[in-house]
Amino acid sequence: QKEVEQNSGPLSVPEGAIASLNCTYSDRGSQSFFWYRQYSGKSPELIMFIYSNGDKEDGRFTAQLNKASQYVSLLIRDSQPSDSATYLCAVNAGNNRKLIWGLGTSLAVNP
Amino acid sequence: ETGVTQSPTHLIKTRGQQVTLRCSSQSGHNTVSWYQQALGQGPQFIFQYYREEENGRGNFPPRFSGLQFPNYSSELNVNALELDDSALYLCASSRDRSYQPQHFGDGTRLSIL
C-alpha cells in the first residue's frame, strides 16, 4: 500500500520562529512532491513543489527533498500567525499520476 | 488567468438522491481531478480526467461517475447518496498528465440528511 505519512501535530511555534514540517513516503518511484496549505473549511492552496533532491526556496518557504531517505520537508521561516493552518503533503506516483495525500500537520503560530 | 471554479458551493440532499457537481478548469489546463475530503482527513482521490477520458480512479464505487467536456470542464455525479457521502468535494486542474502541480477550486460542501 503506497502511503504518505505526516505527524498530525499540532505543531506550535512562536511568532518569528522557524516551523519545520516533515513528510515520509513509501513509494520509491515517486516523482514529484507538493506542499499545500489548508485553512479550516477552505480548499488546499499550493505552497511549494519539488522534483529533485535538495532544497528549493520561495520567499519564507523552503522545501527539502531526500529521495534516498524518502522524506520531504517544509521549512517556514519567520513564522506568522497567518501561517496557522493544516499543511498537507502530496506525492505524485504511478502511471495514473494521482496524488497520494498525507493527513496533514496542524500548525499553530502563537503571537 | 481564470482559476478553478466549482458549483454549487453548498448542497443538501437526502439519502438515495442523486447529485451533480460541476467544475471549470483553470485556463490552459486539460486535466481535472476530483477528491473527497471528510472532516479532519486528507483528500481522497476519486478519479482524474484527461482530454475527456478517465485517466485513473481511486477506491470509490461505480455510483461515483464523471465526465469531462471538450472545454475541459468536468462533472462529478453521485447516485444513491449515502450518509457517508457527506464531505467537501474538491476539483483540481493541472496543465497535463505530467507531474505538474494541481490547483484547487473552493470545493462543494455536500451534506446528506
Q: Quick one: B53 exposed, middle or buried, by C-beta within 10 A (0-12, 13-18, 19+)?
A: exposed
| Cα–Cα distances in angstroms (integers) from residue A105 to residues A83, A88, B37, B97, in the given order | 12, 7, 15, 28
Which residues in chain A touch residue B53, judged by CB atoms under 8 angstroms apart? none
Strand partners, B6: B23
Residue B71 gets the label, from left (phi > 0), alpha (psi -120 to 50) or beta, of: alpha
Q: Inform me whether the pLDDT recorded for B96 exceeds 80.
A: no
Taking an 8 Å cut-off on Cβ atoms, the answer to whether A96 and B56 are in contact is yes
Q: Inform me whether the pLDDT recorded for A96 exceeds 60.
A: no
Query: How far apart are the CA of A102 and the nearest CA of chain B, in angstroms?
Result: 6
Greater pLDDT, B2 or A35: A35
Could you say which DSSP state residue B99 is in? Answer: S
Q: Inform me whether the pLDDT recorded for A71 exceeds 80.
A: yes
Binned at pLDDT 50, 70 and 90, residue A41 comes out as: confident
Greater pLDDT, B76 or A40: B76
How far apart, in whole angstroms, are the C-alpha atoms of residue A9 and residue A22?
A: 11
Cβ pairs bridging A and B (under 8 Å): 56
Element (H or E) spanning B64, and its range? strand B64-68
| Contact with chain A for residue B45, Cβ under 8 A | yes
Q: Which candidate in B35, B102, B109 is best for mutational testing of the A interface (most A CBs within 10 A)?
A: B102
Q: Inform me whether the pLDDT recorded for B16 exceeds 90.
A: yes
Averaged pLDDT for residues B88-113: 90
pLDDT score, position A98: 73
pLDDT tens per residue, range B17-46: 999 999 999 988 999 999 999 988 888 989
Mean pLDDT of chain A: 92
Nine cell digits for residue B103: 490547483
Binned at pLDDT 50, 70 and 90, residue A100 comes out as: confident
pLDDT score, position A45: 95
Reduced to 3 states (helix: H, G, I; strand: E, B; else coil), residue A22 is strand
Strand partners, A94: none
pLDDT score, position A9: 85
Strand partners, A104: none
Which residues in chain B touch residue A21, judged by CB atoms under 8 angstroms apart? none
Percentage, residues of chain A above pLDDT 70: 95
Quick check: A55 and A62 in contact, CB under 8 A? yes
Nine cell digits for residue A85: 493552518
How far apart, in whole angstroms, are the C-alpha atoms of residue A56 and residue A62?
A: 5
How far apart, in whole angstroms, are the C-alpha atoms of residue B93 and residue B55?
A: 13
Reduced to 3 states (helix: H, G, I; strand: E, B; else coil), residue B75 is strand
Nearest to B41 among A34, A97, A103 (CB): A103
The secondary structure of A23-46 as a DSSP string is EEES-TT--EEEEEEE-TTS--EE
State how beta strands B103-104 and B87-94 pair.
antiparallel
pLDDT score, position B98: 63
pLDDT tens per residue, range B50-93: 999 998 898 999 999 999 999 999 999 999 999 999 999 999 99
Which residues in chain A touch residue B48, judged by CB atoms under 8 angstroms apart? 96-98
Taking an 8 Å cut-off on Cβ atoms, the answer to whether A96 and B48 are in contact is yes
How far apart, in whole angstroms, are the C-alpha atoms of residue B60 and residue B63?
A: 8
| Contact with chain A for residue B55, Cβ under 8 A | yes
Nearest to B101 among A34, A43, A103 (CB): A34
The nearest alpha carbon in chain B to A89 belongs to: B42
